[in-house]
Amino acid sequence: MKHLFEQGTLKDAPALILFHGTGGNERDLIPLARRISPESAVLSLRGNVLENGMPRFFRRLAEGVFDIEDLKFRTQEVKAFLEQAAEQYDLDRNNWIAVGYSNGANIIGSLLFHYADLFKGAILHHPMVPLRDITLPPLAGTKVFIGAGSNDPICPPSETEELQELLSGAGASVTLHWERAGHQLTATEADAAAVWFKQNAAQK
């Protein structure tokens, strides 16, 4: 997978694994990562799917309607890449925090729904429920921040609350942060994610 890697300045700081939104690329979330944890190593991925020329991490049939088979395939693809990258860049697999926005947050959600110990925690900006009718793995010890907009036309509050319930039901510790905004990632939401990180994930 196309990606960008930046070495961290603090060895024990969690590595941030970044997943952009639709039409983004591996550089989009670098400023967000530096806002969250300036000392962390950063591994930022570019989605392998193109929708009208816009990179995504998996296909969709329509807005809000996921191609489930492709989502499952791409979830396995990303996991395999991360295992390879861990060796290539000498990353501690037990100290990863995933950070994603929109489509990127949704692929992280699918990774959490499939693999128990892939991430120590996750910061999900405007995610949806990636899959239904699936038994989640045990997620005790996994910490998750969800940033959501109360007026989000793509991801309504009921969707956000359902995702929180599913993750919490699997044992994850979930913090839900609401913005009086739509689908955009606001500065105050980014700041809230940074505060959450310092309180919940900064230490090994």
- The one-letter amino acid code at 39 reads E
- Going by C-alpha positions, the residue among 198, 166, 164 that lies closest to residue 178 is 164
Q: What is the pLDDT of residues 157-188, one digit of tens each?
A: 999 999 999 999 999 999 999 999 999 999 99
20 has catalytic annotation: no
Task: Identify the active-site residue in 37, 102, 125, 126.
Answer: 102
Q: Determine the Cα–Cα distance for residues 97 and 120; give it in Å rounded to an integer.
A: 6
| pLDDT classification of 63: cutoffs 50, 70, 90 | confident
The residue ranges of DSSP E strands in 112-188, in sequence order, are 121-125, 143-149, 173-179
Q: Determine the Cα–Cα distance for residues 102 and 60; give it in Å rounded to an integer.
A: 13
102 has catalytic annotation: yes
Report pLDDT for 201: 86
Task: Identify the active-site residue in 3, 114, 177, 183.
Answer: 183
183 has catalytic annotation: yes
Report pLDDT for 204: 63
The residue ranges of DSSP E strands in 126-186, in sequence order, are 143-149, 173-179
Q: Is the pLDDT of residue 54 over 90?
A: yes
Q: Determine the Cα–Cα distance for residues 74 and 56; give it in Å rounded to an integer.
A: 10
Q: Determine the Cα–Cα distance for residues 200 and 37; give it in Å rounded to an integer.
A: 12
Token digits of residue 171: 């044992």
Q: Is the pLDDT of residue 203 over 80?
A: no
Fold adopted by 3-200: Rossmann fold (3.40.50)
